[in-house]
Structure 1
Amino acid sequence: MQSTSPAPGGANVFLTLAPITLAVFIAFLTIGIQLPVLPLHLHDTLGMGPGVVGLVVGAQFAAALLSRAWAGNFADMRGAKRAVITGALTASASGLIYLASLAFVDAPVSSVWVLVAGRVLLALGESLIVTGTMGWGIGLVGPQNGGKVMAWLGIAMYAAYALGAPVGVAFNSVAGFNGIAIATIVTPLLAAIIVLGVRATPPSATRRTPFYKVLGAVWAPGVGLALSSVGFGVITAFIALLFAAKSWGNSALAFSAFGAAFIGARLLFGHLPDKLGGARVALVCVVIEAIGQLLIWGADTAPLAYMGAALTGFGYSLAFPGFGVEAMRRAPPQTRALAMGAYVAFLDISLGITSPLAGMLAANCGISAVYLAGAASVSLSFVVALMLLGRQSQGVRHA
């Protein structure tokens, strides 16, 4: 079934998406407050090394990957609104698991496993929220505004990362990891309350679509997303450890620099993927992101690392909707949530693999080395963007 409501245009797109965007921002604060705190909790409180830090951080992304097909079909068949509310409740439950992990601090290995269970539950909630809000947004404003949907929801996500990092540090300094766990319980519930009054869109499918069919349609831009996401992955997992290793002080400003540049790029240039084409935009932005990774790798002062984080955020900001517009154009319209879930699955693959591999690299070659590897990976996404652009040119000539 398809919605028969006319798609809004112009400023109405923003107004239509505003409550969903706000809900995503609040929900993703749950993840943002954990970014600078979880690695330090694992390292300082539980005595774990970079390899274990990478595995625990990566567990969320691996679980999200495995749940994308289920979450996408759930949103397409049962409605995106129901998926978002269910996801918020699930994410809230992960905070209870975090609280339980604190009962095992004297048995660090057990505490780590309980934390992993909480990360998996958080991943299930995040998967429902992401696929649900993307499908919901496209259903409300129309596929011709798909790039704007991804841009605005991305702004909400990374604004939450930028604000959540210093908030998480503050919570941790006052109440320890216990404060992080309580915030994880409460914050997603606020997001669920916000979307209760938003108009639901009809389910877009009446039966389950095999995941592999949609995956086959979006794999090429998905690979571009996966490679470009490595830069984001090494910042989320290891920037706090880099600052600690170099005695640069609080790493929260690095997350904020990433988030502020990410948001600025989306606000100023978020319309470009719909207007110019996703591949063209991605082609330029991944170069900027790679330069940012190289700056962090070579940084000998905190301000240089901040600048590198900002360039990484600016470049990655439009790479996501750039490759995403290409994915949406290749997918069947009745599977919009599942298609976005399949596309985002490549992000999960990237972050799920990046964290443990980068942890091993850091253990053997030092923390800085992960950013040189990040620059190399992001550079490969430039090749993918070139291939997508070449296919478009061939299609125009054949037409």
Structure 2
Amino acid sequence: MASQDKGGPTPARLYLLILILFVSYLCVAMALPIVPVYVTGRLGFGNVAAGLAVGVAFLSTIVSRGRAGGITDRLGARTAVCAGLGFYVAGALASALAGLPALPPLPTFLILLAGRLVIGVGESLVAVGVIGWGIGLVGPARSGRVLALVGAALYGALGVGGPLGLLLFDQVGFVGAMLVAAVLPGLGLMAIAGLAGVPPQPAAVRPPFWAVIGRIWPHGLVICLQGIGFAAIGAFFALYFIARDWSHAGLGLTAFGAGFVLMRVLFGHLPDRIGGLPVAIGSLAVETVGQFLIWGVPHPVAALTGAFLTGLGCSMIFPAMGREVVGLVEPHLRGTALGGFSAFQDLAYGLTGPLAGLLADRAGYGSVFLVGGLAAGVGFLVAAALRARQAAV
């Protein structure tokens, strides 16, 4: 069958999956810049609450990634993706409810947090499911390519969704923007209805989840450290621009997404060709420069350039390290391993929002990007140590 030809061209089914992922992830991307603006503006809360409202979705993925991986391995990737898209719709509708003007600020904020938690669970299921589905289609030897395509879809959606969310927020308000966000994963559910999945492996012997984590945690630490830079841009770049009275606050995610997708399109094959760790080391160096540029040169062009460089740097780290992870576990554990691996990135996304909010209150928004640069630099050192250990074996 053409779809199972693991050495031939990438099957059309994988590209359709990537398109569905892109469209549905706009649900997440549209909310990122408008949730903190809504929380600090309409609700009147501070930066810590704004960071929590952004980060809580990523925190919910930490506790659901392992479960999402298990569902993918045992019940099949298609089941995981369909369930995740349903969670997206439910979370966006709950977020829209939080925009009703009759509600007082605190209940509104709590409803918004609940919606964001549900969206986080959906993200676990969709992302892990699509990765497992894609690797099932093309084989583990091309897992780096699958991860690169998945990341291109996710961060391409971030690049488009950021300004789209702010535009809808200006034109139709928070409720209208969240209702549009609910429609998009619904379209994904319709598109996936007739798409055949890949067989699960329900009967294989499985070690405990934490035993799998024990094999991959150094690689997860690298993506946790690199994720801080993106989380800083997602949660505070727009507020950074607004605080300085700079225009085009929504272009931070666009610049990041442009760099991210450009790198994936031009160099998405590199992890499969030269190995994951060399790619990750170079990428972390570029991300470090990008974050320091946003922090150290307080000018809008420099900040957008730094966001673009951060996107270039972040782009290949997940597929590069993910390819290493795929090689560390048996085939029937790939979904579980990649779910746990992804949770390290979610940890960075979830904690950066509220903690960076505390830092921003005390030292200004620029300091958030200083921390992002330092974290990427530490990630560079960890990846270099893994490379040295690999070469010594």
Question: C-alpha deviations, 1:320-357, integer Å up to 9, x for none?
Answer: 11111111111221111111101100001111111111
Structure-to-structure mapping, 1:87-126, within 5 angstroms: 87-103=84-100, 106-126=103-123
Question: C-alpha deviations, 1:200-239, integer Å up to 9, x for none?
Answer: 1011232665211221121111000100111111000100
Q: Secondary structure at the match of 2:147?
A: helix
Structure-to-structure mapping, 1:47-62, within 5 angstroms: 47-62=44-59
2:17 is aligned to 20
Question: C-alpha deviations, 1:97-122, integer Å up to 9, x for none?
Answer: 11221236651111111000000110
Residues of 1 paired with 2:145 and 2:33: CA distance?
29
Report the Cα offset of residue 5 of structure 1: 7.3
Residues of 1 paired with 2:178 and 2:279: CA distance?
39
1:353 is aligned to 351
Residues of 2 paired with 1:170 and 1:275: CA distance?
41
Structure-to-structure mapping, 1:1-80, within 5 angstroms: 6-10=4-8, 12-13=9-10, 15-80=12-77
Alignment partner of 1:153 out of 141, 150, 153: 150
2:241 is aligned to 243
Residues of 2 paired with 1:7 and 1:105: CA distance?
56
| Structure 1 unaligned residues grouped into runs of 5+ | none
Are 1:367 and 2:361 an aligned pair? Answer: no
Aligned residues of 2:219 and 2:325 also touching (Cα < 8 A): yes
- Which one-letter code corresponds to 1:394 in the other structure? A
Q: Secondary structure at the match of 1:13?
A: coil
Structure-to-structure mapping, 1:218-297, within 5 angstroms: 218-297=216-295
Residues of 2 paired with 1:301 and 1:242: CA distance?
11
When the two structures are aligned, how many residues end up with a matched partner? 392
Report the Cα offset of residue 169 of structure 1: 1.4
Are 1:128 and 2:125 an aligned pair? Answer: yes
Report the Cα offset of residue 300 of structure 1: 2.3
Normalising by structure 2, we get a TM-score of 0.96
Inter-CA distance 15–394: structure 2 relative to 1 (3 Å threshold): same
Residues of 1 paired with 2:190 and 2:386: CA distance?
41
Report the Cα offset of residue 6 of structure 1: 4.1
Aligned residues of 2:97 and 2:175 also touching (Cα < 8 A): no
Worse-matched range after superposition: 273-282 or 329-338: 329-338
Q: Secondary structure at the match of 2:32?
A: coil
Residues of 2 paired with 1:134 and 1:252: CA distance?
29
Inter-CA distance 7–219: structure 2 relative to 1 (3 Å threshold): farther
- Which one-letter code corresponds to 2:383 in the other structure? A
1:384 is aligned to 382
Residues of 1 paired with 2:191 and 2:310: CA distance?
31
Worse-matched range after superposition: 267-276 or 330-339: 330-339
Question: C-alpha deviations, 1:145-167, integer Å up to 9, x for none?
Answer: 00000000100001100011121
Aligned residues of 1:204 and 1:335 also touching (Cα < 8 A): no
- Which one-letter code corresponds to 1:58 in the other structure? G
Root mean square deviation, CA, Å:
1.6
Q: Secondary structure at the match of 1:33?
A: helix
2:318 is aligned to 320
Residues of 2 paired with 1:236 and 1:244: CA distance?
14
Question: C-alpha deviations, 1:262-315, integer Å up to 9, x for none?
Answer: 000001111001111100000011000010001100232211111000000000
Residues of 2 paired with 1:105 and 1:61: CA distance?
28
- Which one-letter code corresponds to 1:53 in the other structure? A
- Which one-letter code corresponds to 1:233 in the other structure? A
Report the Cα offset of residue 73 of structure 1: 0.6
- Which one-letter code corresponds to 1:174 in the other structure? Q
Residues of 1 paired with 2:207 and 2:353: CA distance?
31
Worse-matched range after superposition: 361-370 or 194-203: 194-203
1:217 is aligned to 215
- Which one-letter code corresponds to 1:359 in the other structure? G
Alignment partner of 1:84 out of 72, 81, 85: 81
- Which one-letter code corresponds to 1:283 in the other structure? I
Aligned residues of 1:19 and 1:198 also touching (Cα < 8 A): no
Q: Secondary structure at the match of 1:198?
A: coil
2:202 is aligned to 205
Residues of 2 paired with 1:195 and 1:246: CA distance?
44
Residues of 1 paired with 2:253 and 2:326: CA distance?
29
Report the Cα offset of residue 260 of structure 1: 0.7
Inter-CA distance 250–14: structure 2 relative to 1 (3 Å threshold): farther
What is the identity percentage for the equivalent residue pairs of Structure 1 and Structure 2? 38
Inter-CA distance 99–5: structure 2 relative to 1 (3 Å threshold): closer
| Structure 2 unaligned residues grouped into runs of 5+ | none
Aligned residues of 2:3 and 2:13 also touching (Cα < 8 A): no
- Which one-letter code corresponds to 1:32 in the other structure? A
